[in-house]
């Protein structure tokens, strides 16, 4: 969440940031709450002063041997007034805290202006899309149907937007996860973690999914718990409520999980194939870093995700999300978009974000500077490294052959037991 002290001291700057986001921040309502809160605190101090004066008067009367009953009665009334004022002030503090939970992060100065995805500038383009001269490109769900991508049985088992993978495709999914994990561990020095797929509402609150995005989550009936929408949630919360030594920073984790999303509001979009499923595999990168280096760390994190696309020889581009398109918790985000020739477009395959101290404040993740006494909030970053289903889709569309077979990217052949080509199931038989 935002720093309440900063908001109180710089309300116009916060309002300007929200305007860049196209977020309807009610500055007047916040200022009214603050004015009421200050008035209550002033009233409390005045009542306390009156109580101190009355207490001194009681002591004086008693020393003189007089009856202080009437003053004592007034003291009781003052104490009741102070208690009531404090309760009202606590209620206002709670209202401010609830308001803050619904306010997104302030876009960084280098986040470009814009209203939506159409305003996202391209930072760089890497690789040249394949020229299909002998046959037209095909969408991945059509290529995959002959290789073991079974949407019909996925729907039979679980409903729409679930799939079953058989044979070579099931092995390709496993190979991709292992390849991504090994690359990030060996080449980028991440520590692998395996986390639960069910998290508490407190964990989702810490990373910013709750309360705003409850409709996007799968809730466990009868419990304050949910299926994870991304490994960002459990991995970031590993250090919730902790104070890390400065020497531990930067700290990077990599985690492979299944992810579960209701896809609320996306009906009719990408209903076929592997692009927008309710359950999908993903390898996630999470970093805890020093505030002074977080934007250099964002560039590094983005390069780590790009390394997977480069190793798989998949064309892609990097775009900087504009202020109107960045996620709720993010201050700055780069999207990696892989080329899908069957769709004749680039599609998102990773978002790499710097949340600054937004998540750390919600989850209370701090570090202690060396030689210093006062703790400070870490900056958190995360990015997909990569989304496995979308990576499979890109491989199917970019590596398909005229006969429907799909070449295995060279980097994955060792993870596929030496298999170089995925043949259609009929041909295998």
Q: What ranges do the domains of the chain cover?
A: 26-101, 117-428
Cis status, amide bond into 408, omega within 30 of 0: no
pLDDT in tens, 160-214: 999 999 999 999 999 999 999 999 999 999 999 999 999 999 999 999 999 999 9
Predicted pLDDT of residue 323: 98
CB atoms within 10 A of CB 275: 22
Bridge partners, residue 351, by sequence: 335
Q: For residues 359 and 270, which has the higher predicted lDDT (pLDDT)? A: 359
Judge whether residue 244 has pLDDT over 70.
yes
Predicted pLDDT of residue 223: 95
Residue 189: active-site member = no
Spatial distance between the Cα atoms of 249 and 271, rounded to a whole number of angstroms: 42
Residue 21: active-site member = no
Give the predicted TM-score (pTM) of the model.
0.92
Residue 390: active-site member = yes
Judge whether residue 30 has pLDDT over 50.
yes
Q: Which of 351, 361, 366, 384 is catalytic?
A: 351
Class of domain 117-428: alpha beta
pLDDT band of residue 305 (cuts 50, 70, 90) is very high
Predicted pLDDT of residue 373: 81
pLDDT in tens, 51-99: 999 899 889 988 988 888 888 888 888 989 999 999 999 999 999 999 9
- Both ends of the chain: CA-CA distance in Å? 57
Phi/psi of residue 356, each to 5°?
A: 50, -135
Residue 338: its H or E element: strand 332-340
Q: Which of 21, 161, 171, 261 is catalytic?
A: 261
Give me the mean pLDDT over the 25-38 stretch: 90
Predicted pLDDT of residue 73: 86
pLDDT band of residue 429 (cuts 50, 70, 90) is very low
Q: Which of 37, 171, 287, 390 is catalytic?
A: 390
Residue 88: its H or E element: helix 69-101
pLDDT in tens, 113-131: 999 999 999 999 999 999 9
Residue 276: active-site member = yes
Q: Which of 130, 348, 401, 425 is catalytic?
A: 348
In the chain, pLDDT over 70 holds for what percent of residues?
98
Closest CA to 203 of 179, 230, 176: 230
Residue 261: active-site member = yes
Predicted pLDDT of residue 271: 74
Q: Which of 36, 130, 276, 317 is catalytic?
A: 276
pLDDT in tens, 284-300: 999 999 999 999 999 99
């Amino acid at each position: 969440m935002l720093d309440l002290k900063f908001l109180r001291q710089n309300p116009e700057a916060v309002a300007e940031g929200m305007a860049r986001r196209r977020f309807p921040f009610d500055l007047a309502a916040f200022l009214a709450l603050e004015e009421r809160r200050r008035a209550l605190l002033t009233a409390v101090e005045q009542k306390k002063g009156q109580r101190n004066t009355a207490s001194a008067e009681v002591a004086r009367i008693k020393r003189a041997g007089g009856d202080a009953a009437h003053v004592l009665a007034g003291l009781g009334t003052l104490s009741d007034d102070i208690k009531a004022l404090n309760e009202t002030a606590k209620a206002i503090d709670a209202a401010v805290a609830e308001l803050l939970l619904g306010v997104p992060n302030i876009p960084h100065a280098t986040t470009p202006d814009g209203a939506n995805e159409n305003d996202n500038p391209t930072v760089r383009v890497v690789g040249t899309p394949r020229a299909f001269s002998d046959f037209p490109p095909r969408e991945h769900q059509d290529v995959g149907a002959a290789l073991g991508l079974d949407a019909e049985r996925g729907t039979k088992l679980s409903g729409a937007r679930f799939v079953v993978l058989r044979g070579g495709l099931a092995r390709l999914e496993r190979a991709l996860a292992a390849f991504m994990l090994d690359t990030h561990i060996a080449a980028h020095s991440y520590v692998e973690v395996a986390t639960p797929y069910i998290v508490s509402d407190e964990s989702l609150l810490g990373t910013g999914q709750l309360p705003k995005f409850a409709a996007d989550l799968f809730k466990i009936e009868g419990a304050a718990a949910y299926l994870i929408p991304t490994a960002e949630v459990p991995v970031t919360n590993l250090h919730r409520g902790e104070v890390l030594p400065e020497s531990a920073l930067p700290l990077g984790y990599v985690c492979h999980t299944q992810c579960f999303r209701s896809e609320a509001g996306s009906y009719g979009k990408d209903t076929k194939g592997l692009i927008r499923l309710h359950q999908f595999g993903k390898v996630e990168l999470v970093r805890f870093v020093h505030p002074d280096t977080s934007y250099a760390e964002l560039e590094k994190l983005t390069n780590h995700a790009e390394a997977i696309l480069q190793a798989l020889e998949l064309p892609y581009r990097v775009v900087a999300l504009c202020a109107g398109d960045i996620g709720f918790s993010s201050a700055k985000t780069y999207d990696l978009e892989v080329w899908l020739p069957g769709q004749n477009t680039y599609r998102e395959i990773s978002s790499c974000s710097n949340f600054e101290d937004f998540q750390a404040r919600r989850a209370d993740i701090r570090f202690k500077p060396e030689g210093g006494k006062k703790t400070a909030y870490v900056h958190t970053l995360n990015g997909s490294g990569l989304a496995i289903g979308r990576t499979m889709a890109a491989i199917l569309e970019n590596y398909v052959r005229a006969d429907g077979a799909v070449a295995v990217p060279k980097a994955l052949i060792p993870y596929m037991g030496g298999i170089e080509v995925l043949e259609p199931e009929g041909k295998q038989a």
